[in-house]
């Protein structure tokens, strides 16, 4: 008789308890069960189950395979010992692997840290999934233009018309102004924002209530830092007043909140926030559907379908009859940082492309290092043959051998990763400078787990082939010395070397082309002379021309001019339509760049005047005059262009001069047809000085201070501003330089070790050749020859790949170099040189040995 | 001399009482009868293991019976060492008991 229906309980007992007790206890239990079950089967089962649970105590539990554990441990120690001895014996291979892998890991870690940073930008808002920015797609003759600027009235209309929305807020771009508190007057940059701004974006308030801070139109919210600057404290500043200067409408503002210092991963940056109501009440023209200039963010309700909403919202402006050929587009707020380009009215990866590119590049470096590891393991196999043969002969299975080799690769990988971590910690400050980001913060546990997972996967990946290859040798053939290296392994080795060479070549050519393009950008003819021009702002000064005339008096100043509506010459934004002339048609309503400049513009920037003259004081007010560039002149009609009349909206203006084409923006964009208009009161001043003389600059500063301008004097050089435009490309160039050097070094190191093994194996051959009369040169050529052909094959494979990558990258620039064929040959030359050097050194060493010393061995 | 818990003492007594026939279930039933309360077999087993470890009992496998699903009984027997322990315990107790003055505990 058994325990009907309760066998599984006994099975459970047998599972956890020690075998020596099974018979006695089970017997007793069954006996009791049988007595109990005469009363009730279920009760008997329950009693049995309960009783068995009570046996879960230490003296009954299985000792979990004590003997087995000890065995495993000794295998572990044994493996460790063998690996350690192997490392000691082949120190150079070990250090080459260590250098390669740890450098590659350091690259991967750094790039991954950076990528992680880029991916996390703006995602810290609690409501992140629900925050969207509203953009306008305007269909024009040139194509669809996506614009972040929207009508100020849009936010409120959207909230009313779309129940899916929680909030919609309007902000302006940014406003710089002077603020004075109880302690000091401070310059700050802030935003005018809609009432629910802090409901949408989770910038934590130290003081104040996020839903009521902007109820009054003269309320201001300060960041910690600004509050401290203004009042010397952040304590009890609520209710204090802050006076704004003219850029802040000369109003008194009441502090209603203090924000914690903004996270560095925020693209929204500001020192203060003021109610948008204030902005609207001063700039009343924004209260109109015809004006753009506001930025609109919405937050949708939890669970609302953003895609559906996007489709619903798209024709909104057209349906309401507000605008024609203009649609709305929603973009997730935190995506806008990485998808910062727009093509055909849709966001496309802009910055994200670079993030991906660099991740890929760092993985390629890792691949190069892994290939070293794999190749060296295969090459080393001749040394390990005896070991493997003996191991197998004494009964170690293939599986156990595979484990040993995988263990070896895991050890290598994790040790290198540890070295890499130290490297990263050391390099991070330098890296922070290159990327202009502060990445030095302790990564979260998830990040570390990911890295460990990645490393484990990698140790298996890198170790798998060598492990299978090495463990598959037949012990008899090894021990009988009849073993021949398999052909397939040789092919794989060569194939992997080719992959390494290809990666190196792609990096080298990439670096050359990026460098060429950047040099081209920096040195190309802009149409103006960018050196020795100082740029600063004199906002808040009524007598702009008085100031400019005074500046020109300063010794060392050659000329001075002023512009408006933008920054300096490097980045005058804004283009417009509405120019017409005799013979122009409606369809020729062309988009012109239209900077507004003061007297002496062409002279100060040294624009080349092709015809006519520049704006000049001698002619008095020139507001009815225009200058054009060559492109515009060609459109309008070159003949007798001086004196021609152009309708600028309702005004009739006369062309007085034609200048050579010049760049108003970065060379990413093409020069546009440009009409230069006259505006004497622009506050952006550009001064050409004869040399970078401290005295001249301090004289300008003195003059500036004597003009009682609200803002402290701060200037930049046009040439610096120009370099700033290519900061990102500069970073690409620096990184591609580092990466190509690293790739070449790692692969040369691998090659070095590989050649050492090859030559060692061919020593006898070399000896015989020498005895038969081969010259040193002959033999060296023989040894380097096989590698040279690999380099050439690599060039043939890699050139089309790098060509297409590079032309793709160059298409970002309106002005660019072409990828010339010799770039690939330079790459080839550099690689050949490094290969010949690595191989040649060792080949020479080998041939100079006396052949007798290694031929008499048998 | 190792100490003896109260329940262990009872189990040891049972083993001694059921000379040559004591095993888990029989001890459990015997004690349930004597103490007039339910006892879980696991408690008996734990005590037996401890007694055996302390050297008060020894065990041998007995015959197979049908009611035990083919498992042998484990028969426990008291050792002389165990008997000395019981005698000592008994002596101490009676010696103390006899000192109780003859007063009425009404």
Q: What's the Cα-to-Cα distance from B92 to each of A86, A170, A589, B17, B99, rounded to whole Å?
A: 71, 95, 122, 20, 11
The pTM for the full model equals: 0.71
Asked if A857 contacts A767 with a C-beta cutoff of 8 angstroms, the reply is no
Note whether A31 contacts B46, CB cutoff 8 Å: no
Residue of chain B with shortest Cα separation from A37: B67
Q: Is A72 exposed, middle or buried (0-12, 13-18, 19+ CB in 10 A)?
A: exposed
Cβ atoms within 10 Å, residue A322: 15
Size of interface A-B (CB pairs under 8 A): 60
Binned at pLDDT 50, 70 and 90, residue A442 comes out as: low
Please tell me the distance in Å from B91's CA to the nearest CA on chain A: 32
**Which of the pair, A142 or A652, is modelled with greater confidence?**
A652
Q: What residues of A are in contact with residue B65 (Cβ under 8 Å)?
A: 31
Cβ-based contacts of B23 with chain A (< 8 Å): 24, 28
* Chain segment A746-802, per-residue pLDDT in tens: 888 888 888 888 888 888 888 888 889 888 888 888 888 888 889 999 999 999 999
Interface contact B72-A59, CB threshold 8 A: no
Question: Of the candidates A1, A24, A50, which has its C-beta nearest B24's C-beta?
Answer: A24
Higher pLDDT, A663 or B106: A663
| Average pLDDT over all residues of chain A | 85
Average pLDDT over residues A410-423: 91
Residues of chain A with Cβ-Cβ distance to B28 below 8 Å are 28, 32
For the stretch A174-197, pLDDT in tens is 888 888 888 778 888 999 999 999
The set of residues, in sequence order, having a beta carbon less than 8 Å from that of A666 and lying 6+ positions away, is A570, A571, A725, A726
Contacts of B73 in chain A (CB under 8 A): 24, 27
Report for A67-71, A203-207, A449-453, A600-604: range of highest mean pLDDT: A203-207
Locate tokens 């509405």: which residue?
A578
Subunit contact B41:A32, Cβ cutoff 8 A: yes
pLDDT score at B30: 92
Q: What share of chain A in percent tops pLDDT 90?
A: 15
Give the residue-averaged pLDDT of A542-549: 83
- Using CB atoms, pick whichever of B28, B66, B74 lies closest to residue A24: B74
Contact A232, A187 (CB under 8 A): no
Q: Does position A344 have pLDDT exceeding 90, yes or no?
A: no
What per-residue string of b and e applies to A808-818 under the rule 16 or more CB within 10 Å gives b? Answer: ebbeebebbbe
Residue of A nearest to B53 (CA): A59
Among the partner-chain residues A26, A27, A54, the one whose CB lies closest to the CB of B42 is A54
Report pLDDT digits (tens) over A235-261.
888 888 999 888 888 889 999 999 999
The CA distance from B67 to the nearest CA of chain A, in Å, is 6
Dist. CA A452–CA A446, nearest whole Å? 10
| A1 vs B contacts (CB less than 8 Å) | 66-67, 69
Q: What is the mean pLDDT of residues A4-11?
A: 76
Q: Which residues of B touch A55 (CB under 8 A)?
A: 42, 45
Q: What is the model's pLDDT at position A397?
A: 81
Tell me whether residues B45 and A23 touch, CB distance under 8 A: no
Tell me if A27 and B74 make a contact (CB, 8 A cut-off).
Answer: yes
- Chain B residues with a Cβ under 8 Å from any Cβ in chain A: 23-25, 28, 40-43, 45-46, 49, 61, 65-69, 71-74
Q: Is pLDDT larger for residue B66 or for residue A43?
A: A43
In angstroms, rounded to a whole number, what is the distance separating the alpha carbons of residues B54 and A353?
76
Q: What tokens were used for A815?
A: 């002005």
Q: Assign residue A462 a region (left: φ > 0; alpha: ψ between -120 and 50; beta: otherwise).
A: alpha
A566 within 8 A of A573, measured Cβ to Cβ: yes
Q: With 90 as the cut, is the pLDDT of residue A63 above it?
A: no
In the predicted structure, residue A92 carries a pLDDT above the cut 70: yes
- Could you tell me which residue, A483 or A814, shows the higher pLDDT? A814
Q: How far apart are CA A96 and CA A149, in angstroms?
A: 56
Tell which wins on pLDDT, A525 or A370. Answer: A370
Rounded to 5 degrees, φ, ψ at A661 are: -55, 140
Residue A650 vs residue A568, higher pLDDT: A650
* Beta-strand runs (E) in A525-613: 533-537, 557-564, 575-576, 579-581, 592-593, 596-597, 609-612
pLDDT of res. A573:
59
**Alpha-carbon distance B85 to nearest alpha carbon in chain A (angstroms):** 24
Confidence band of A471 (pLDDT split at 50, 70, 90): confident
**What confidence tens digit (pLDDT) does each residue in B23-56 have?**
989 999 999 999 998 888 999 999 999 999 889 9
Instruction: Name the closest residue on chain A to residue B24, using Cα atoms.
Output: A28
* A83: its two tokens: 């690996």
User: Which residue, chain included where needed, has tokens 């998830």?
Assistant: A446
Q: In this complex, do B67 and A30 lie within 8 Å of one another by their Cβ atoms?
A: yes
CB contact under 8 A, B71 and A55: no
**CA-derived radius of gyration, chain B:** 16
With 0-12 / 13-18 / 19 or more C-beta atoms within 10 angstroms meaning exposed / middle / buried, residue A303 is exposed
Of A2, A26, A51, the CB nearest to B42: A51
Ranking A304-318, A379-393, A492-506 by mean pLDDT, the lowest is A379-393
Which member of B40, B43, B73 has the closest CB to residue A27?
B73
Query: What's the pLDDT at A68?
Result: 47
* pLDDT tier, A587 (very low <50, low <70, confident <90, very high otherwise): low
Beta strands in A578-718 (DSSP E): 579-581, 592-593, 596-597, 609-612, 625-629, 645-648, 651-659, 675-678, 684-689, 715-717
Confidence of residue A665 (pLDDT cuts 50, 70, 90): confident
Average pLDDT over residues A793-813: 90
Which pLDDT value is given to residue A710? 75
The alpha carbon dihedral of A199, A200, A204, A205 has a sign of negative
Is A67 a residue whose pLDDT tops 50? no
pLDDT digits (tens, 9 = 90+) for A843-857: 888 888 888 877 776
pLDDT at A385: 80
- Average pLDDT (A198-218) is 89
Q: Which residue would you say has higher pLDDT here, A467 or A855?
A: A467
Over residues B47-69, mean pLDDT: 85
* Chain B closest-CA separation from residue A23 CA (Å): 6
Cβ-Cβ contacts under 8 Å, B66 against chain A: 1
Whether residues A23 and B41 touch (CB distance < 8 A) is answered with no
A135 pLDDT band, cuts 50/70/90, is very high
Residue A223 pLDDT class (50, 70, 90 cuts): very high
In chain A, what residues touch B24 (CB-CB under 8 Å)? Answer: 24-25, 27-28
Mean pLDDT value across residues A469-498: 79
Choose the closest CB to B68 out of A30, A51, A57: A30
Mutate to test the interface with B, among A27, A57, A61 (most CBs of B within 10 A): A27
Residues of A with CB under 8 A from a CB of B: 1-3, 21, 23-32, 34, 50-51, 54-55, 57, 59
Q: Which two tokens stand for residue A832?
A: 């050949």
How far, rounded to the nearest angstrom, does the alpha carbon of residue A257 sit from its chain's CA centroid? 34
The answer to whether residues A24 and B42 touch, using CB atoms and an 8 Å cutoff, is no
pLDDT band at A499 (very low <50, low <70, confident <90, very high): very high
Nearest by CB to residue B41, choosing from A2, A34, A51, is A51
Cβ–Cβ of A1/B67 closer than 8 Å?
A: yes
φ, ψ dihedrals at B26, nearest 5° = -65, -40
- Percentage of the residues of chain B whose pLDDT score is greater than 90: 42
């Amino acid at each position: 008789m058994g325990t009907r229906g309760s066998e599984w309980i006994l099975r459970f007992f047998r599972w956890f308890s020690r075998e020596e007790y099974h018979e006695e206890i089970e017997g007793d239990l069954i006996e009791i069960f049988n007595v109990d079950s005469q009363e009730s089967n279920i009760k008997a089962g329950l009693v049995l189950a309960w009783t068995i649970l009570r046996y879960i105590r230490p003296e009954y539990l299985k000792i979990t395979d004590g003997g087995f554990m000890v065995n495993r441990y000794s295998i572990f120690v044994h493996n460790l010992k063998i690996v350690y001895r192997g490392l000691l014996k082949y120190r150079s291979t070990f250090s080459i692997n260590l250098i390669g892998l740890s450098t590659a890991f350091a690259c991967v870690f750094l790039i991954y840290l950076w990528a992680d940073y880029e991916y996390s930008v703006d995602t810290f808002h609690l409501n992140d999934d629900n925050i969207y920015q509203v953009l306008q797609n305007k269909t024009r003759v040139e194509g669809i233009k996506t614009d972040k600027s929207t009508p100020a009235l849009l936010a409120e209309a959207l909230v009313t018309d779309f129940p899916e929305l929680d909030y919609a807020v309007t902000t302006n771009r940014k406003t710089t102004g002077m603020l004075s508190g109880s302690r000091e007057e401070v310059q700050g940059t802030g935003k005018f924002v809609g009432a629910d701004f802090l409901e949408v974006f989770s910038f934590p308030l130290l003081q104040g209530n996020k839903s009521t801070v902007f109820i009054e139109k003269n309320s201001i919210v300060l960041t910690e830092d600004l509050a401290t600057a203004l009042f010397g404290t952040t304590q009890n500043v609520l209710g204090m007043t802050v006076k704004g200067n003219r850029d802040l409408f000369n109003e008194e503002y009441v502090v209603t909140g203090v924000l914690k210092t903004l996270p560095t991963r925020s693209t929204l940056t500001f020192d203060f926030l003021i109610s948008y109501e204030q902005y609207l009440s001063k700039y009343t023209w924004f209260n109109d559907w015809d004006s753009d200039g506001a930025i609109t963010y919405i937050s949708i309700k939890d669970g609302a379908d953003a895609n559906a909403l996007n489709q619903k919202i798209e024709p909104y402006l057209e349906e309401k009859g507000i605008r024609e050929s203009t649609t709305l587009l929603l973009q997730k707020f935190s995506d806008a940082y990485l998808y910062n380009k727009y093509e055909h009215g849709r966001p496309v990866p802009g910055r994200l492309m670079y993030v991906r590119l660099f991740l890929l590049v760092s993985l390629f470096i890792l691949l190069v290092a892994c290939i070293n590891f794999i190749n060296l393991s295969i090459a080393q196999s001749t040394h390990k043959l005896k070991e493997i043969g003996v191991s197998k002969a004494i009964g170690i299975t293939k599986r156990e051998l595979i484990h040993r080799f995988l263990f070896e690769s895991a050890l290598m990988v994790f040790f290198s990763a540890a070295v890499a971590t130290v490297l990263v910690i050391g390099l991070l400050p330098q890296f922070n400078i290159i990327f202009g980001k502060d990445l030095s913060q302790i990564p979260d546990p998830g990040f570390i787990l990911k890295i460990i997972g990645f490393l484990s996967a990698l140790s298996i990946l890198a170790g798998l082939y060598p492990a299978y290859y090495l463990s598959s040798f037949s012990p008899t053939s090894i021990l009988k010395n009849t073993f021949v290296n398999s052909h397939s392994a040789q092919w794989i080795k060569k194939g992997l070397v080719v992959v390494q060479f290809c990666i190196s070549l792609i990096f080298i050519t990439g670096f050359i082309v990026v460098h060429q393009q950047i040099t081209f950008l920096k040195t190309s003819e802009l149409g103006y002379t960018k050196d020795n021009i100082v740029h600063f702002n004199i906002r808040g000064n009524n007598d702009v021309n008085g100031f400019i005339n005074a500046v020109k008096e300063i010794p060392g100043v050659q000329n001075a001019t002023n512009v408006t509506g933008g920054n300096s010459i490097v980045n005058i934004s804004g283009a417009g339509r509405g120019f017409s002339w005799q013979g122009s048609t409606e369809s020729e309503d062309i988009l012109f760049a239209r900077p507004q400049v003061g007297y002496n513009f062409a002279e100060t920037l040294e624009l080349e005047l092709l015809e006519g003259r520049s704006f000049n004081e001698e002619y008095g007010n020139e507001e009815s005059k225009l200058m054009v560039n060559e492109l515009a002149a060609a459109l309008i009609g070159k003949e007798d262009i001086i004196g021609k009349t152009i309708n600028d909206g309702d005004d009739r203006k006369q062309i007085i001069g034609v200048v050579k084409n010049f760049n108003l923006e970065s060379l990413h964009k093409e020069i546009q047809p440009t009409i230069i208009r006259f505006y004497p009161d622009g506050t952006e001043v550009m001064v050409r000085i004869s040399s970078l003389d401290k005295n001249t600059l301090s004289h300008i500063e003195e003059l500036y201070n004597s003009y009682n301008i609200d803002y402290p004097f701060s200037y930049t050089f046009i040439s610096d501003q120009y370099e700033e435009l290519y900061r990102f490309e500069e970073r690409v160039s620096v990184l591609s330089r580092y990466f190509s050097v690293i790739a070449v070094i790692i692969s040369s190191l691998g090659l070095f070790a590989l050649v050492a093994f090859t030559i060692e194996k061919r020593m006898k051959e070399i000896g015989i050749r020498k005895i038969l009369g081969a010259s040193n040169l002959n033999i060296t050529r023989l040894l380097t020859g096989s590698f040279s052909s690999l380099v050439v094959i690599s060039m043939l494979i890699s050139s089309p790949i790098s060509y297409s990558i590079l032309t793709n990258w160059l298409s970002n620039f309106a002005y660019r170099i072409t990828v010339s064929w010799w770039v690939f040959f330079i790459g080839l030359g550099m690689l050949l040189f490094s290969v010949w050097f690595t191989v040649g050194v060792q080949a020479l060493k080998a041939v100079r040995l006396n052949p007798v010393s290694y031929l008499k061995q048998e | 001399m190792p100490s003896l818990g109260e329940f262990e003492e009872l189990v040891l007594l049972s083993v001694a009482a059921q000379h040559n026939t004591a095993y888990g279930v029989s001890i459990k039933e015997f004690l349930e009868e004597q103490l007039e309360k339910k006892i879980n077999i696991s408690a008996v087993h734990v005590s037996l293991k401890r007694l055996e470890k302390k050297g008060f009992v020894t065990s041998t496998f007995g015959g197979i019976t049908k009611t035990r699903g083919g498992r042998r009984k484990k028969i426990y027997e008291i050792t002389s060492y165990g008997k000395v322990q019981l005698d000592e315990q008994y002596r101490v107790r009676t010696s103390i008991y006899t000192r109780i003055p003859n007063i009425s505990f009404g």
